[in-house]
A and B are shown apart, each in its own frame.
Chain A
Amino acid sequence: MFIEVIKPGPLSSIQDSGRLGYLHTGLAPAGPMDHLSLRIASLLVGNELPPPLFCGGPRGDAGFEFTLLGPTLKFHTDTLIALAGAEMPASIDGVEIPYYESVSVAAGATLAVGATRTGARTYLAIAGGLDVEPVLGSRSENLFSSRGPFGRALQKGDSIPIQNLSTLNGRGVSVRFDRSQLPQLGGEQILRVVMGPQHEAFTDKSIADFTSAAWKLSTQANRMGLRFHGPTLEFGPRPDYLVRDAGADPSNIVDDIIPVGGIQCPSGIEAIVMGTENPTVGGFAKIATVISTDIATAGQMRPGDIANFKPVSVDEALALASAAAALVGPHNLIGN
């Protein structure tokens, strides 16, 4: 009982909620770039929900993350699946299937997932999860560090064990997710940020530019980070000893933590929003940190999309995170 990868797509990988407890070794959490969509897909097939970004506990059942273009997968057992996130056209044996809805798949059927025109990442959950061995407590692939069940993205010919639907009691009923409260993907987006840790290093004008300009996502966008282009940001005066200890560029700092969502501004010429495979420490000033809820929004942006950075308080970020977590529950499921 398994799924066979016929075509892997350009970057498809296995993800649960991510690997916690190893940042002190330099290993980033990985996990989905859009936790919300993976959670919704998981809910639709009755899986154990992967917790939101940086929430503890069991890591949830693993699903797939596809980037820009999906794979072709053959199912060698009966199962139930659900797709969420960027709506890459998807069909089973040539018949189009809906998103945000659980769909039965018969043994021998082939799922083909095409290219997205809005949003960047699609999540596929399979009832019972992907039965691969966890590595360091998680089934998430960290592609940059080659850690995870395969230690890499999907390849043609991979077999991924799954469970037969008959062993999963009561999961055959088709349900839909109420999408009315979900954010639109792609295009122009607001990314809410908590300012800092190094916003004081920038000039007042640059802080104003950062929060008022339209920032365009470049083609350099992956799970490690998303490089946005906008106005050049400038830095205020700094002590001479930082030239010796941190480097001559005014954006250099003595290394500190780079959080997931941290916005690093090397030489002030770009704003890099760090993803879930972020470098864990670094020596460039970070003007702000994207709140946990909006990492999912950033993860759905594609080159050319526009971000507007909007400062919020830590308390507002916490309230938004609670609301986003509460969105994914049976109260938002609709029976077909």
Chain B
Amino acid sequence: MIYAAPIFRHLADSYVGVEFGDDADLRNNFRVIALAQAFGGLNYPWMLEVIPTLREFGLVYDRSLISPTKVEAIIREVLPDIVTADEVTSRLFKLPVWYRDPWTEAINQQAGLTPSIEVVAEANQCSVNEVINRHAGTEHWVSCVGWAPGCYFAYPLDRTIGVTAPKLDTARPYTPERTLTLGGLCTAALPFPGPSGYQMLGRIAPPIYRTQGDIAGFPEHGVLFAAGDRHRYVPVDALGYEAVREKIANGTYEYDITTEQFSFQQLAAGGYTE
């Protein structure tokens, strides 16, 4: 539920959290991102970190420069504007994805598991092609970047066609980097190989995280996405995937990014109204 008034939480003596609700309603996330964008543009010497998550805005303060009571008061001052904010800045990334790629198929085969995308099809009582069409048929809202550098959590803007996936009881120990995964309604991709409890749908062709080397569009910290971005996953086949990888290798790949204002109404229209 969305709380009648945001709840302030003091996480020991370094963090102040502002929680807008307890569920996965993207309207909470819109408020969080509006707050993060408002504070992100400020340059208070005591403000060490601004952290947007799905339903909570967090701020890490320097306790030697300011009290948490004062931090809370400063946030409370801007809150009335935030809860009525109608627009946030949002980048739309069009990302080529090889759905049902051979790597995820091989990982499942090796583990003796049903291919993940077939598990998702069964859970949604539709065909594998329909899973792909539905997943690629809506934009996905990046609610948060975190857990590990570059890992993100995105939700379908049109919840009515979004597909859901059962999470694994035990996390798969190895999931390749850039694997597009789904757990519940949430899409995520791992920046580097690691464990994951989400079902694998395919593989994003271009990098989403860099620790060295320059690729146009990457900030210095190497994490491509930010909370408030949107993704449109564009299905490609083996040839399309390889074409992107070749451009990455020779330094000619350019990300398809459009920066625009995105309104609360657009977000709420996707089924996030109850």
Contact = CB atoms under 8 A, between A and B. Distances in A.
Contacts of A25: 145-146, 149-150, 221-223, 226
B48 A54 contact: yes
A262 interface: yes
B176 interface: no
A143 B54 CA distance: 27
Given A21-B48, A56-B65, A136-B221, A292 B145 contact: no
Nearest to B186: A255
A24 B148 contact: no
B220 interface: yes
A24 B58 CA distance: 9
Given A257-B15, A314-B12, A26 B148 contact: yes
Interface in B1-38: 1, 9-15, 17, 19, 22-24, 36
Contacts of A26: 145-151, 191, 223
B221 A27 contact: yes
Contacts of A282: 147
A27 B49 CA distance: 11
A318 B147 contact: no
Contact of A23 (B10, B146, B184): B146
Interface residues of B, number: 53
B155 to A, nearest CB: 10
Given A54-B60, A194-B11, A259-B11, A145 B53 contact: no
Contacts of A262: 11
Interface in B144-175: 144-151, 153, 167
Contacts of A7: none
Interface string A263-293: 0000000000000000111100000011110
A25 B52 CA distance: 10
B261 interface: no
A194 B13 contact: yes
A292 B9 contact: no
Given A247-B167, A281-B147, A321-B63, A256 B24 contact: no
- The number of chain A residues touching the other chain, given as a range, is 35 or more
B180 interface: no
Contacts of B64: 51-52, 55, 322, 325
A21 B43 CA distance: 12
A260 to B, nearest CB: 7
Interface string B85-127: 0000000000000000000000000000000000000000000
B177 interface: no
A65 to B, nearest CB: 20
Interface string A63-79: 00000000000000000
A254 B24 contact: yes
A314 B13 contact: yes
Contacts of B227: 24
B63 A22 contact: no
B273 interface: no
B17 A256 contact: yes
A109 interface: no
Nearest to B224: A25
Interface string B185-211: 000000110000000000000000001
B244 to A, nearest CB: 23
A22 to B, nearest CB: 6
A114 B60 CA distance: 37
B67 interface: yes
Contacts of B13: 194, 291-292, 314, 317-318, 321
B88 to A, nearest CB: 15
B55 interface: yes
A239 interface: yes
Interface string B47-88: 011111111101010111101100000000000000000000
Given A292-B13, A318-B13, A318-B63, A145 B48 contact: no
A10 interface: no
Interface in A238-258: 239, 241-242, 244-247, 253-257
Contacts of A230: none
Contact of A279 (B15, B144, B148, B192): B148
Contacts of A314: 10, 12-13, 68
B213 interface: no
Nearest to A281: B146
Interface in B130-146: 144-146
13 contacts: A26-B146, A55-B63, A194-B12, A196-B9, A197-B17, A241-B1, A253-B22, A254-B55, A257-B11, A257-B53, A314-B12, A318-B13, A318-B67
Interface of A: 20-27, 51-56, 136, 144-147, 151, 193-194, 196-197, 239, 241-242, 244-247, 253-257, 259-262, 279-282, 289-292, 314, 317-318, 321-322, 325
Nearest 5 CB-CB pairings of A with B: A281-B146, A25-B223, A317-B13, A245-B24, A289-B12
Given A55-B64, A245-B23, 4 more contacts: A24-B226, A54-B63, A56-B65, A241-B23
